[in-house]
Structure 1
Amino acid sequence: MSVIIERLFIGQIARLKRTFNESDVKLCNELTGDFSPVYQEAKNDWKGISSKPLVPGLLTEGLITQVISQKLPGTACVLLQKEVVYYLPVHVGDEITAELEIIDINHERNWVTQKVSCFNQFGNEVVKGQVVILILPSHSS
């Protein structure tokens, strides 16, 4: 069993905030080859209101994995499963807070399940879901 997993507990929470800008979107487009016009032009959003260009979902998911790698657990791990639902669009200029909460720990497998919630600057939940990660053994001596 990993020493790291012994320090984790159900209910433990970690958060990170990030504001996505046009440069983030352009870099993501270049890396993925996804040049959909929704990332460059103002469009009607899901509620029919004209808005800023959208941020690719991959960037919001990247903020989720940043919380995992830097904060909870903040150690070497592998993402085994990710299920997310996008409730509202994320637009260029939005400040997104990704919050992860441990909801299950499987000590035999070194698996940790976390609830995922992402909120925009208005407090609206834009992404919800869960992840399962495998905590890797520590390599320190």
Structure 2
Amino acid sequence: MSRYDSIKVGDKASFTKTITETDITLYGAVSGDFNPVHFNSVYAEKTMFKNRIAHGMLTAGLISAILGMQLPGPGTIYLSQSLSFRSPVFIGDTITAQVEVLEKEDEKKQIKLSTVCKNQNDKKVIVGEAIVMLKD
């Protein structure tokens, strides 16, 4: 049985990570996004968040970790991702990304998944859907 055939609607996987100062620094260096809301405490105190926040795409990257490493796993090709950013992520927050298989399109070997990131208080910080392709 192929890996694609072994994946069923309803299958789930998750990945948990605590967001650190180092994560934000490294993400800024890789992405070039040095928005002061991520790096400047004095600036961030004047925003609606009252504190520095993590990059939204840093948090969304945890979804990619699941897709590429767990479900479907190595060899997965990311085709699309919708994201709705619901709440900020702060340094020290522990984020759990979760994916669940919603649909499969057998002819193209594509999989549609629900994607959610929650903080340590079980509050959804990101919700969306992904479509991936699995090459066996």
TM-score scaled by structure 1? 0.89
Does the Cα contact within 8 Å between 2:49 and 2:88 map onto a contact in 1?
Answer: no
Displacement of 1:59 after TM fit? Answer: 1.1
Give secondary structure in 2 for the equivalent of 1:25.
helix
1:69-98 Cα offsets, whole Å, 9 max, x none, are 111011311100100100001111110000
Runs of at least 5 residues in structure 2 that lack an aligned partner in the other structure = none
Per the alignment, residue 63 of structure 1 pairs with: 62
Give percent identity, aligned residues only: 26
* Alignment CA distance shift 1:82-1:121 (3 Å): same
Supply the distance in 2 between the matched residues of 1:132 and 1:33 (Cα, whole angstroms). Answer: 27
Does the Cα contact within 8 Å between 1:99 and 1:118 map onto a contact in 2?
Answer: yes
Supply the distance in 1 between the matched residues of 2:74 and 2:26 (Cα, whole angstroms). Answer: 26
1:97 paired to 2:102: no
* Alignment CA distance shift 1:59-1:114 (3 Å): same
Name the one with the larger helix percent: 2
Supply the distance in 2 between the matched residues of 1:16 and 1:45 (Cα, whole angstroms). Answer: 32
What pairs with 1:46-125 in structure 2 (closer than 5 Å)? 48=48, 50-51=50-51, 53-125=52-124
What pairs with 1:32-51 in structure 2 (closer than 5 Å)? 32-42=31-41, 43=44, 48=48, 50-51=50-51
RMSD (Å) for aligned C-alpha atoms: 1.7
TM-score scaled by structure 2? 0.92
Supply the distance in 2 between the matched residues of 1:106 and 1:44 (Cα, whole angstroms). Answer: 47
Does the Cα contact within 8 Å between 1:84 and 1:129 map onto a contact in 2?
Answer: yes
Supply the distance in 2 between the matched residues of 1:22 and 1:124 (Cα, whole angstroms). Answer: 21
**AA at the equivalent of 1:63:** L
Does the Cα contact within 8 Å between 2:24 and 2:54 map onto a contact in 1?
Answer: yes
Runs of at least 5 residues in structure 1 that lack an aligned partner in the other structure = none
Give secondary structure in 2 for the equivalent of 1:50.
coil
**AA at the equivalent of 2:33:** D
* Alignment CA distance shift 1:131-1:49 (3 Å): closer
Give secondary structure in 1 for the equivalent of 2:10.
coil
Supply the distance in 2 between the matched residues of 1:96 and 1:21 (Cα, whole angstroms). Answer: 11
